[in-house]
Amino acid sequence: MHLLIHLTHGPEAPTQADRAFLIAKTALKDGHKASMFLAGSAVGLIKEENLDKVFGVGSTATELRNSVNEILENGGRIVLSEVSCGARGITEKDWEGKNVELGSPSVLVEMTAACDKVITYG
């Protein structure tokens, strides 16, 4: 099964943001495919100042950077909303070297159509 996780919660809601990353990591560990589309304030999570923050609660709490790396290393895909990045001043400098992609609304539509299930956190 291929899951798309659409996240709009950002640094202001770390527990909610973490849930999306936890589900993506879990899906990949369980042998499924997982893609993430970050929109709204979620695009701010890719900034260096947020990647080293601990997100989540209890035994699943980890630095966001660890979650991003684990998803990418296990074949997951993370796409940042081009519109949301532009609206929030997130630039190529913020995502370069992080192996994430920039996507238009059309990319979100394509990703949604290609996946079996969509989970939205927002």
- pLDDT, tens digit, 9 for 90 and up, residues 23-55: 999 999 999 999 999 999 999 999 999 999 887
pTM of the model: 0.95
pLDDT at 14: 87
The DSSP 8-state label assigned to residue 69 in this structure reads H
Looking up residue 65, the CATH number of its domain turns out to be 3.40.1260.10
As given in the structure block, the two tokens for residue 4 are 């798309």
Helices (H) and strands (E) in the chain, counts: 6, 7
pLDDT at 2: 98
CA nearest neighbour of 86 among 37, 36, 44, 49: 44
CA nearest neighbour of 5 among 52, 14, 26: 26
The domain of 105 spans 2-121
| The total number of structural domains that make up the chain | 1
pLDDT digits (tens, 9 = 90+) for 53-99: 887 778 888 899 999 999 999 999 999 999 999 999 999 999 999 99
What DSSP element (H or E) covers 84? helix 82-88
Name the E strands within 1-122.
2-7, 33-38, 54-55, 62-63, 77-81, 101-103, 117-121
Residue 39: other Cβ atoms inside 10 A:
21
